Structure 1
Amino acid sequence: MPSAWIHSLSKQQAQRLAIELGVSVDGTLDDLPRKLKEKRTSLEPRLPSQLTAKSELAMDAATSVGNVFLNAGIPGQVSYVQAKIRGRVVGDLVRNIPVLPGTDPESVLHFLIRAQEVYDLNLVGDLEFLALLVGRTSGRVTQILGLHLGTSSKWGVVSSEISSTFPPPRIREEFVSKYVLRRFQSPTKYLTQFIMPVVAAARILSYHGSESDLVQRIFQNMHPRVRSYLVFGSKPTTIAELHALASHVAEARAVDAQRQGCENQALAGASQSAGRGSRQVSMAIDETRRVRNRGVVCWDCFGRGHLKRDCPSSVPLPSSNQGNEQDAQQ
């Protein structure tokens, strides 16, 4: 990552960054940027992986218009290390977005939805986020991203231009029906994983309903098994309340899974105990029989411990039918 932004810091910003990194602030003002660059070089191997070549060029263009990487729109005052950690998290999330090879309307919509989900996490500023997306696109979409990087545009403006350029109005109406109005939650998908794509699609496709209408639609399209956790709760009216319900459902499902695991473990233990008890009873019966038969005398071999019918030395006599067959043959 280029380090020219260090020279753009004010004296107060440079001193604050030096304190955070454990760099001495003694010396002249010209020595401080050099110390910060040396410290940054030593930290770089433990910090996030570098952006792609296209993203680095885009970031250079962003910094050239006065946007410092450290404070590039990130909400609140965060340290250099925190900003780098956030950048790494977002970089990993962006790399999971499939590369957009062309301008197929549905592929563009999927790309925008996944990008919107990452952007809604609010971890990095708009310019860095756009720079990361450059490496996941090609052709006309890359040109749009590069143009807006040069003019310091927001992600919402870029997303609106991309979505209005490629899906025609007729296809947009189909997409609203498919990805917003008639998108149903599967029983295996977590509620948050269901809510975020629908909200992103509604925002990208310019859903004309109000927020409460969208929330009501999402609530109706939840799986009945998930809605059973919300029987005694109040019906949500905002997106924030929807996410709060998602947290409640996730916690309830975790408790149910833990309870089911404990019950299964208890049943398995009871079954093993019953099996051990039956084996002990069987062994006790066999031992009782052996003790009881110790004084028994066989009438065939006059041995002790068994009866005549169990005598190992006795030879079975031919049956009457076998004798009749032998007489008939003679």
Structure 2
Amino acid sequence: MIDKVLIPIEIGLTAAIVSFDGNEPLILTAPGGDGEKLAGLPFGPFDAVTHRTFEIGLRAWVQEQTGLRLGYAEQLYTFGDRGRHAQRGDTDAHVASVGYLALTRAADNTSKPQVAGATFEPWYRYFPWEDWREERPALIEKDILPALRDWAAQSETSNAERALARGDRVRLYFGIDGAHWDEERVLDRYELLYEAGLIEESRRDGRPAALARDVLPPLGIAMRFDHRRILATAIARLRAKLKYRPVVFELLPSEFTLTDLQRTVEAISGRHLHKQNFRRLVDAGALVEPTGEMSTQTGGRPAALFRFRREVLQERPAPGLRVRGRR
């Protein structure tokens, strides 16, 4: 009879804390511990005695460790594999992490994060293929698609149980051969790159497709554990939320110009938006109202200031900005 080793399970809370500044969506990163070189998302333990709910625990340790005040927060998913799995002979606790998406205004946080080494970083450093604001990222055609097409052409006998073949997933997720680019498929694209062995986390986790490659393409900055997967989940959720919830106003100051609003939506969605179409969409949605004041900090002509019109929350069930990009 083989003796079974019981490995304790711990529950932690991992936060994808998003802010916005300088026309860039930012994510709070924290340094690794115990010699870990890679940065990751802030992580804190859940204390079942002190904290009645996961969200209370999240807000408590974020305030304590970073000094940041969170606005909107929602639970994403529970992460317990990929980069966390226990190996034979392990006796340390296996950590299952409840992931959260949290938003904070840059103006609400007058001090820098208090954890040594913690900093807000542009999230497109981790997902450079997701930023289409200027143009289609060149690395998609140069580095990603050739490798994915080669991988898709290989035998799929081990993937026969999947509803979509490899080639179909490449076409749908990356918007090629007649398919359109869907900005909400952030996690699908990341998972595809991981499965094909094209990112560092795949090699670190011992995936055969990655180990078989001599060189990996430069596809963004790796994060510790499965934190880049958690961040992909958070970005996908926020991009979807823009269309049916007014979450974008959690990232803006209380008064803003329509240009500020458009740039924030563009930065999060990764898409360039037609100015007049966007403003018609805002007007039709009745999401904002003029303050009667003007901003002189635009670098040009003064612009009217607006604020979020909270009454819209009572007027319809899904007040958001159903934007469409020009590509």
Same-fold status (TM-score > 0.5): no
Higher normalized strand content (fraction of residues): 2
Give the TM-score normalised by the residue count of structure 1. Answer: 0.24
Higher normalized helix content (fraction of residues): 1
Give the TM-score normalised by the residue count of structure 2. Answer: 0.24
